[in-house]
Amino acid sequence: MTIGEVFSIILSILFVLNIVFAGIIIFLERRDATSTWAWVMVLFFIPFLGFILYLIFGQNLTRRRLFDWEDIKKIGIEDLIRAQIAALREERFHFIDPSVREHRDLIFMQLVNNDSVLTQENEVDIFIDGGKKFEALMKDIEAAEDHIHFQYYILRDDKLGTRIIKALTKKAEEGVKVRILYDEMGSRSISKKSFRAFHAAGGETSIFFPRRIPFINLRLNYRNHRKIVIIDGKIGYTGGFNVGDEYLGLDPKFGYWRDTHLRMLGDAVKALQTRFILDWNQASPDKRDIHYQEGLFPAVDPHAGNTAVQIVSSGPDSQWEQIKNGYIKMILMAKESVYIQTPYFIPDQSLMDALRIAALSGVDVRIMIPNKPDHPFVYWATYSHIGTILEAGAEVYIYDNGFIHAKTIVVDGKVSSVGTANIDNRSFALNFEVNAFIYHHPFSQRMALIFEEDMKQSTRFTLNNYKKRSLWIRFKEAIAHLLSPIL
Question: Is 225 tagged catalytic?
Answer: yes
CA atoms of 359 and 337, how far apart (whole Å): 9
Q: Which of 227, 261, 385, 476 is catalytic?
A: 227
Q: How far apart are the first and last CA of the chain?
A: 42
Residue (of 444, 461, 177, 168) closest to 296 by Cα position: 177
- Establish how many alpha carbons lie within 13 A of residue 392's alpha carbon, considering only the half-sphere containing its beta carbon: 22
- Establish how many alpha carbons lie within 13 A of residue 424's alpha carbon, considering only the half-sphere containing its beta carbon: 31
Task: Estimate the crossing angle of helix 376-391 against helix 349-360, to 10 degrees.
Answer: 40
Measure the CA angle with vertex 367, ends 363 and 368; round to 5°: 150
420 phi, psi to nearest 5 deg = -110, -10
**Count H helices, E strands: the chain?**
16, 16
CA atoms of 437 and 456, how far apart (whole Å): 26
**3-class DSSP assignment, residue 35:** helix
Question: Is 103 tagged catalytic?
Answer: no
C-alpha torsion 18→24→30→33, nearest 10:
20
CA atoms of 199 and 242, how far apart (whole Å): 22
Q: Which of 177, 270, 385, 405 is catalytic?
A: 405
Question: Is 227 tagged catalytic?
Answer: yes
CA atoms of 425 and 348, how far apart (whole Å): 7
CA atoms of 17 and 260, how far apart (whole Å): 46
Q: Which of 232, 279, 424, 454 is catalytic?
A: 232
Q: Which of 183, 412, 424, 454 is catalytic?
A: 412
- Establish how many alpha carbons lie within 13 A of residue 300's alpha carbon, considering only the half-sphere containing its beta carbon: 25
Residue (of 387, 382, 378) closest to 347 by Cα position: 382
Q: Residues with Cβ < 8 Å from 442, sequence gap 6 or more?
A: none
Q: Which of 147, 407, 440, 476 is catalytic?
A: 407
Q: Decide: 338 and 358 in contact? Cβ < 8 Å.
A: yes
Question: Is 405 tagged catalytic?
Answer: yes
Question: Is 412 tagged catalytic?
Answer: yes
- Establish how many alpha carbons lie within 13 A of residue 53's alpha carbon, considering only the half-sphere containing its beta carbon: 16
235 phi, psi to nearest 5 deg = -120, 135
Q: Which of 225, 324, 440, 476 is catalytic?
A: 225
How is 175-236 classified by DSSP, letter by letter?
T-EEEEEEETTTTTT--GGGGHHHHHTT-EEEEES--SBTTB-TTTT--B---EEEETTTEE
Instruction: Count CB neighbours of 139 within 10 A.
Output: 10
Tell me which residues are annotated as active site.
225, 227, 232, 405, 407, 412
